[in-house]
Each structure stands twice: as structure tokens, then as C-alpha cells.
Amino acid sequence: MGAGGPPHRYLEAIRSDHALSMHGVGLSLGSADGIRTAQLDRVKALHCRYQPELLSEHLSWSGIGAHLVPDLLPVPLHAESLARFAESIDRVQTALKRTILIENPSLYLAPNGGDIPEPEFIATLCRRTGCGWLLDINNVFVSATNLGFDATVYLDAVDPALVGEIHLAGHARERHAGGDLLIDDHGARVPEAVRWLFARYIARAGPTPTLVEWDTRLPDFATLAAEAAQANVILHTTPASASGHDRAA
């Protein structure tokens, strides 16, 4: 979010021909002490400069006071955290004069005290604040595997009318004595299980703007292009169910 340098030259060149999707990891919407004004101001400046088509953040927190961590930490999902998230989202949307999307995170443990299922929590946030949902299907699969719930049940609870963007990605698998742990590292091809969940969801929801994330252990461009092509095939050839609705991709 600096003022110049190669990243801005790249963005300016790309923006001249393509719409951008701006994805944040540092606003810490779930922090008990609220959003940092300086961080929001930097996001606003970047948003004004590039006018992205989509802008998103995470259902998470990443700091208290002056103490920040480079991670997306989980939040217990209950009425108090719902009010806190809604207040932070309202503040961001007021500052930017637009709606944003909120992404479901990858989970490695279930925070104590939560009593609202994640799909219900995010849907309530969307309806209360007017924000949209960034549905990360890889994150659903990672969380379902790590916490032991059914990813298809989660996705069936998602209202497609709330979803403005989809993320797909690969993940790493760590072997432990107590069972496997999936790590959302964006460092591999989209697994068949995630691709199957994506196709199943698209059959119900219809085409939705979709991003394949790959930002560690980067392969050659042909491999990246092939991943995007496979997602496009699913988006545009999956038969829609009777309850599906067509959405522009």
C-alpha cells in the first residue's frame, strides 16, 4: 500500500485493461478494539486510486492495540462478535462508500464460546450490513476436514444471492498421530475434492466470479493458466439445477 514502485506500475498497467479484485488481510474486522484508523485510511487511498470491481476482507482478527500478527485468527461466533463485525463492516463501507465482501476463513481449531454456525453468521452479517460473501470453497473443505464437519452441508446452507465472488486454491496436508491437518497455503493445484464441491455449488448457484489463488511455491504460467481454464469449464458447462439462478461471471 505504498505510494509507488513496481507493484503500482503493474497494477496501473493491468487496470487499464482489466477489472481488479482487491483482497485485504489486515483490517482485523473482528478485533475487540475495532479497526485501526491508519490502516483503513491506507485501504481507502488504494481503493480510490484503482477503483476495484470487488473488494473483500476476512471473518477474522489479527491484532489487539499496537500488537499485530501476520495471520487470520478465528473468532468465536456469537451475538457479541456478530455485533462487533457488523460495526466494523459498517465503518469500512461508510469510509469507502461501497459494499465489501467477507470471506469465510480456514480453521484449525474451533474457538470456545461460539454458538452460531458459520454460514448463518455470515448470512446474518450480509443482511444486517448489506455486505456480500466471498465464498472460499477451499477454506470450507480445509475447515471441514480439520474440525470434522460435512462440507456439503455447509455449502448447502449458503444462499447464492449473497455470494459475490468464489475462491479456489490448493492446500498442504500435514500427517500427525491424531490425524491429518490441512493447511491453507495456496501452494498447489486445486484438489479434486475442492473442484467437485465447486461444481456442485455452481450447479445450484450458476456462474459466479471466481479466483484461483496460488501464491506460494509458484509454478510456471502454463500450470496457472490450466487451473483457471479448468475453473472456467466448470463455470460455463455445469448444468444448472432447477433452483439455480444465472449470474454473470
Contact in structure between 168 and 138 (CB atoms under 8 Å): yes
The pLDDT value recorded for residue 247 is: 39
pLDDT at 176: 85
* pTM of the entire predicted model: 0.93
Please give the pLDDT value at position 243.
Answer: 44
Residue 131 has a pLDDT of 98
Residues in the chain, total? 249
45 contact partners, CB below 8 Å, separation of at least 6: 1
pLDDT less than 70: residues of the chain? 241-249
Q: How far apart, in whole angstroms, are the C-alpha atoms of residue 168 and residue 213?
A: 6
* 192-205 vs 137-147: helix crossing angle, rounded to 10: 120
Pair 231, 210: CB distance under 8 Å:
yes
Q: Give burial (CB, 10 Å; 0-12/13-18/19+) of 245.
A: exposed
In order of 108, 117, 195, the CA distances from 27 in angstroms are: 21, 23, 30
Taking CA atoms, 36 is separated from 40, 41, 67, 93, 94, in Å, by 6, 9, 11, 14, 15
* CA torsion through residues 240, 241, 247, 249, sign: negative
Task: Determine the pLDDT at residue 241.
Answer: 66
What pLDDT is stored for residue 248 in this prediction? 35
Vertex 70, ends 179 and 60: CA angle to 5°? 75
The C-alpha atoms of residue 13 and residue 19 are separated, in whole angstroms, by: 11
Please name the residue ranges forming H helices in the chain.
Answer: 6-15, 37-50, 79-96, 118-129, 137-147, 151-156, 192-205, 221-237
